[in-house]
Amino acid sequence: MGMPPRGKRRARGPLKEPALKVAKSELPKEGEVPAVGKKSGKRNPTRKSSAEKASAKQEGNKKTYTHWLMKSEPESRLEKGIDVKFGIEDLKAQTNQTACWDGVRNYQARNFLREMKVGQTAFFYHSNCKEPGIAGIMKVVKEAYPDHTQFEKEDPHYDASSSKENPKWWMVDVQFVRMTKRFLPLAEMKLLHQAHKTSGGPLKDMALFTRQRLSIQPLTTEEFECVLGLEEEKPQ
């Protein structure tokens, strides 16, 4: 899959308060990122990167989603000497089985985080491992707020181009709901996706196969219920 997807957390509990408080008028507009002028060195808040322009274009006709698929790595991997491992068992081990979902560094994935509402459900997807797939279900318990790791120089996800006055990256808090009745492997979902491409079934356009590299993916209600129904079936 090339570079591993972002969106991993160290095994740390959620922040009780946002890492910083920013006035509503100071928040960046959708798809906006500060840029440095060539001569003056002053930030230009209207200048956009090519990645943000592409993200904004893709969101031009966006749908409203209430379900999500969120990827994280269950196996140890070091970045800047820090283990970015965070599987569903790590979430279960947190206080109140709740943690912040930090480290997302893709503009479209970030925008999906900002769309999430308290109470919405998400699949916890094990990524970049021997057997990728869905391990359980969690829910959003705190809506998007600035990701503190973008300001921490020792953190693998530090971003020197972001500022506390105009943060680029966001996160939500999630809480464990339950394990799926059985692990739902990617290979099994892929077979169903291929069948639905021919039959016109609910998984024909599932982002897991059409936008594979995104660590935060939206799901329609039909997609969520179809995938969840697999836990009642025998493994293929």
Q: What is the dihedral of CA 185, 191, 195, 198, to 10 degrees?
A: 110
Element containing residue 234 per DSSP (H, E): none
Contact 125, 94 (CB under 8 A): no
What's CA 158's distance to the chain center, in Å?
Answer: 17
> Whole-angstrom Cα distance, residue 26 to residue 234?
52
Pairing of strands 170-185, 216-219: unpaired
Is the dihedral angle over the CA atoms 83, 84, 86, 91 positive or is it negative?
positive
pLDDT, one tens digit for every residue, the chain (236 residues): 444 444 445 544 444 444 444 444 444 455 544 444 444 444 554 465 666 555 555 555 567 799 999 999 999 999 999 999 999 999 999 999 999 999 999 999 999 999 999 999 999 999 999 999 999 999 999 999 999 999 999 999 999 999 999 999 999 999 999 999 999 999 999 999 999 999 999 999 999 999 999 999 999 999 999 999 999 998 87
Residues in CB range of 82: below 8 A, 6 or more apart: 10, 154, 155, 156
Give, in degrees to the nearest 5, the angle at Cα 176 between 170 and 177: 125
Dmax over CA atoms of the chain, in Å, equals: 64
Element housing 35 (H / E) = strand 35-36
Residue count of the chain, please give it.
236
Please provide the CATH number assigned to the domain covering 65-179+210-220: 3.10.590.10
* 215 burial type by CB count under 10 A (0-12 exposed, 13-18 middle, 19+ buried): buried
Bridge partners of residue 134, in order along the sequence: 125, 184
Query: What is the structure's pLDDT at 36?
Result: 40
Nearest to 110 by CA among 74, 159, 76: 159
Q: How far apart are CA 147 and CA 170, in angstroms?
A: 5
Backbone angles phi, psi at 149, to 5 degrees: -65, -20
Q: Hey, where are the domains in the chain?
A: 65-179+210-220
Is pTM beyond 0.85 here? no
The reported pLDDT for the residue numbered 64 is: 78
Q: What is the pLDDT of residue 26?
A: 45
Question: Given this model, what pLDDT does residue 3 score?
Answer: 42
The residue type found at 53 is K
Question: Hey, what are 231's tokens?
Answer: 């836990």
